[in-house]
Structure 1
Amino acid sequence: MYRSGAGMAWNVFRFCTALRGLGSIMILMVLGVVGVTYYAVVLTNFGPALFLGGLDTLISFVVLILFHCLLVMLLWCYFAVVFMDPGTVPPNWKPAADEERGEVDPLNGVELSNLQSDPANQRFRYCRKCSQPKPPRCHHCSVCGRCVLKMDHHCVWVVNCVGALNYKYFLLFLVYTFLETTLVTISLLPHFKTYFSDGEIPGTPGTLATTFLTFVLNLAFSLSVLGFLVLHVSLVASNTTTIEAYEKKTTSKWRYDLGRRKNFEQVFGMDKRYWFIPAYSEEDIRRMPVLQGLEYPSTPDFNAQEF
Structure 2
Amino acid sequence: MLRRTNTSSKEQSTKVGANSPSSSPQSTPTAKVVRHTCGTSPFDRFWLNWDCCGLFCAGLTYGLHIYGCYAVTQVLLPPWMSVTIDGVRSLTFWGKFHSFCFVVVAFLAVISHFFAMTTDPGSIPPDAEPLPDSNGLDVSKNGEGEPLKPKPRPPKRMCRRCKSYKPDRAHHCSICKRCILKMDHHCPWVNNCVGIGNHKFFLLFVFYTFCSCFYAMSLVIMRFVECLGKMEKHQPCLDQPEHLLSIIGLAVESMLFGMFTCCMVIDQWDVVSTNVTHIDRLKGELSMEDLEGRAGIHEVFGSGNGKGKKSGFRPDWLSPFVKVCFPEDMHNDIMGFCRPCSRVLGVKKEKDQDFDSSGDIV
Common fold by TM > 0.5 = yes
Q: Indicate conservation of the 8 Å contact 1:236/1:263, yes or no.
A: yes
101 and 254 in structure 1: CA distance in 2 versus 1, 3 angstrom threshold: closer
Asked whether 1:230 is paired with 2:266, we answer: yes
Greater gyration radius: 2
After superposition, give the CA deviation of every residue in 1:129-166 in whole Å (9 maximum; x if it has no partner): 11222012110001111211211111100111111110
* Partner residue in 2 for 1:163: 195
Asked whether 1:180 is paired with 2:212, we answer: yes
Ranges in structure 2 where 5+ consecutive residues have no aligned partner: 1-49, 85-90, 139-152, 305-313, 339-362
Q: In structure 1, give the amino acid aligned to 2:195.
A: G
Q: In structure 1, give the amino acid aligned to 2:331.
A: P
> C-alpha distance in 2, partners of 1:87/1:290?
13
> C-alpha distance in 2, partners of 1:197/1:122?
74
283 and 132 in structure 1: CA distance in 2 versus 1, 3 angstrom threshold: closer
Q: Indicate conservation of the 8 Å contact 1:192/1:215, yes or no.
A: no
* Partner residue in 2 for 1:40: 71
Q: In structure 2, give the amino acid aligned to 1:64.
A: S
TM-score (norm 2): 0.62
Q: Calculate the aligned-residue CA RMSD, in Å.
A: 3.3
251 and 241 in structure 1: CA distance in 2 versus 1, 3 angstrom threshold: closer
* Partner residue in 1 for 2:165: 133
Asked whether 1:146 is paired with 2:181, we answer: no
172 and 293 in structure 1: CA distance in 2 versus 1, 3 angstrom threshold: farther
153 and 69 in structure 1: CA distance in 2 versus 1, 3 angstrom threshold: same
SS at match of 1:161: strand
Q: How many aligned residue pairs are there?
A: 257
Ranges in structure 1 where 5+ consecutive residues have no aligned partner: 1-18, 104-120, 297-307
Asked whether 1:216 is paired with 2:252, we answer: yes
TM-score (norm 1): 0.72
Percent of residue pairs identical: 27
After superposition, give the CA deviation of every residue in 1:196-251 in whole Å (9 maximum; x if it has no partner): 89935533243110111111111111111111111111111111112112234x66
**1 or 2, which has the higher helix percentage?**
1
* Partner residue in 1 for 2:282: 246
Q: In structure 1, give the amino acid aligned to 2:184.
A: D
Q: In structure 1, give the amino acid aligned to 2:316.
A: Y
Asked whether 1:269 is paired with 2:305, we answer: no
Q: In structure 2, give the amino acid aligned to 1:182.
A: F
Asked whether 1:278 is paired with 2:320, we answer: yes
193 and 22 in structure 1: CA distance in 2 versus 1, 3 angstrom threshold: farther
* Partner residue in 2 for 1:63: 98
* Partner residue in 2 for 1:72: 107
* Partner residue in 2 for 1:88: 123
How far does residue 84 in structure 1 lie from its aligned partner after superposition? 0.8
